């Protein structure tokens, strides 16, 4: 089923701003930790053209889930983090945190900025989708950010195992998010929806106290 015009508008806004902030957060964290690559490649920018992936963008507009285009990073140059794996974990974490921040700000706008009913619906969609994308990216399956975060905090043998899965990441991703749901095992999408709904309702209740 195609999304409503309001939901499609929200997805377009997330595509242009949410994906951009997500990738900029990755690159800014890498630069902060000492990697000159993002600045050299012109990826410390709010220009969405630098980050949008054609297929990932289309998937977001059609399904609500998609991906952007990341650039190369040099974890060995991120000496402030102490180790390459810890550095990449911090870089990976920055992306979902940016989505959580945008989702929280959009929820705050619903409470504190007067707007029309339709605009409230669009902003609500944006808030919910940003939070949904944050939880989606935190799932520890390569190539999602959650896998990189997990590599940075687990014991080296476990991190080595996760890293060994990366060549098969696309196959694992397709199996987890397309094949299994088709077979009736919709575990990950169900968890994402429950976590998103709970966090979004928490934000609405929190801001209603002010």
Report which of residues 135 and 166 the model is more confident about: 135
Q: Flag whether pLDDT at 67 surpasses 90.
A: no
DSSP state of 80: G
Contact 82, 64 (CB under 8 A): no
SS3 148: helix
pLDDT at 154: 94
pLDDT at 125: 95
pLDDT at 1: 65
| Distance between CA atoms of residues 120 and 180, nearest Å | 35
pLDDT at 31: 97
Confidence grade of residue 203 (pLDDT, cut at 50, 70, 90):
very high
Question: Torsion angle of alpha carbons 147, 153, 156, 162, nearest 10°?
Answer: -10
What is the residue extent of each domain of the chain? 5-208
Tens digits of per-residue pLDDT, 141-186?
888 999 999 999 999 999 999 888 888 877 887 777 777 777 777 7
Confidence grade of residue 189 (pLDDT, cut at 50, 70, 90):
confident
Confidence grade of residue 45 (pLDDT, cut at 50, 70, 90):
very high
pLDDT at 197: 95
pLDDT at 167: 84
For tokens 């990932």, the residue is 56
Q: Which residues are catalytic?
A: 23
């Amino acid at each position: 089923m195609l999304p409503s015009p309001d939901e499609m508008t929200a997805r377009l806004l997330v595509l242009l701003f949410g994906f951009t902030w997500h990738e900029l957060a990755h690159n800014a964290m890498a630069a902060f930790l000492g990697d000159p690559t993002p600045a050299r490649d012109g990826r410390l920018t709010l220009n969405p053209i630098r980050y949008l992936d054609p297929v990932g963008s289309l998937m977001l507009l059609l399904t609500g889930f998609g991906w952007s285009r990341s650039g190369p990073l040099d974890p060995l140059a991120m000496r402030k983090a102490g180790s390459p794996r810890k550095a990449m974990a911090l870089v990976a974490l920055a992306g979902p945190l940016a989505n959580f921040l945008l989702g929280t700000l959009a929820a705050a706008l619903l409470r504190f900025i007067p707007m029309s009913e339709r605009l409230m619906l669009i902003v609500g969609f944006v808030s919910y989708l940003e939070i949904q994308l944050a939880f989606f990216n935190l799932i520890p399956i390569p190539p999602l950010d959650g896998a990189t975060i997990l590599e940075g905090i687990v014991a080296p043998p476990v991190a080595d195992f996760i890293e060994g899965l990366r060549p098969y990441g696309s196959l694992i991703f397709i199996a987890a998010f397309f094949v299994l749901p088709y077979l009736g095992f919709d575990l990950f999408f169900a968890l994402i929806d429950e976590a998103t709904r709970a966090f979004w309702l928490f934000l609405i209740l929190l801001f209603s106290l002010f």
